[in-house]
Amino acid sequence: MLPLVALVGRPNVGKSTLFNAMTRSRDALVHDQPGVTRDRHYGICRLNEDTSFALVDTGGIAGEEEGLAGATARQARAAAAEADLVLFIVDGREGASALDDEILRWLRKTDRPTLLVINKMDGMDETTVLADFARYGFSDMLAISAAHRQGIDDLVDEVLQRL
Ligand code: GDP
Ligand code: MG
């Protein structure tokens, strides 16, 4: 079985865009509308014949426990709990939000190894944004732009070092 890496984060931070960039496929549903990806979605990130891992794009976590949003949040938690590594994706343009705080709280409970990945960093000042997320206490923070394929190779290297 391939090691499993879960993409977790609130809606619209760019999880599906990153999933596509890492799997180089278009099969994740990417849309401007927050929370459009409702199901878990699996793909493979393949570096070469000997090196690959499975990736799961979790649905948007809307922070609600009722209805569809609640079911989606539960799926995302389940995906994170079974993953070998979690990529906690946040939006560098919007900065740390209350929903990010909430997701981080349950991620800590699942106790999986977690990397903080700050997306949408195209045109952003890295020092300022990293300072905003410093309070989350991650020793490693990766700044990327999934849409512009910036930082993806470094991210994949970091992932492989942890699997
Ligand atoms: P998800 O809800 O977390 O899966 O987010 P999506 O992948 O659907 O992306 C939500 C929106 O953010 C889309 O309009 C994307 O084009 C945009 N987006 C994703 N990655 C980036 C990025 O690196 N930079 C910028 N500027 N926009 C991005
Ligand atoms: Mg999505």
| pLDDT tens readout for residues 106-128 | 899 988 999 999 999 999 999 99
Ligand sitting nearest the alpha carbon of 122: 1
pTM: 0.89
Alpha-carbon distance of 163 to 159, in angstroms, equals 6
Structural domain containing residue 36: 4-162
Q: Please give the torsion angle defined by the CA atoms of residues 59, 63, 69 and 70, in that order, rounded to the nearest 10 degrees.
A: 110
User: 121 C-alpha to center of ligand 1: Å?
Assistant: 11
DSSP reduced 3-state for 103: helix
For ligand 1, atom 12: residue with the closest CA: 14
119 lines ligand 1 (CB under 6 A): yes
Q: Which residues pair with 118 in a beta bridge?
A: 90, 143
Alpha-carbon distance of 58 to 107, in angstroms, equals 13
Q: How many domains does the chain have?
A: 1
31 lines ligand 1 (CB under 6 A): yes
Summarize pLDDT for 19-68 with one digit per residue, the tens. 989 987 555 555 545 554 444 578 899 888 889 999 998 864 455 555 55
User: 33 C-alpha to center of ligand 2: Å?
Assistant: 9
Which of ligand 1's atoms lies nearest the C-alpha of 150? 23
Q: Would you tell me the crossing angle of helices 152-162 and 15-23 to the nearest 10 degrees?
A: 80
Domain at 24, CATH number: 3.40.50.300
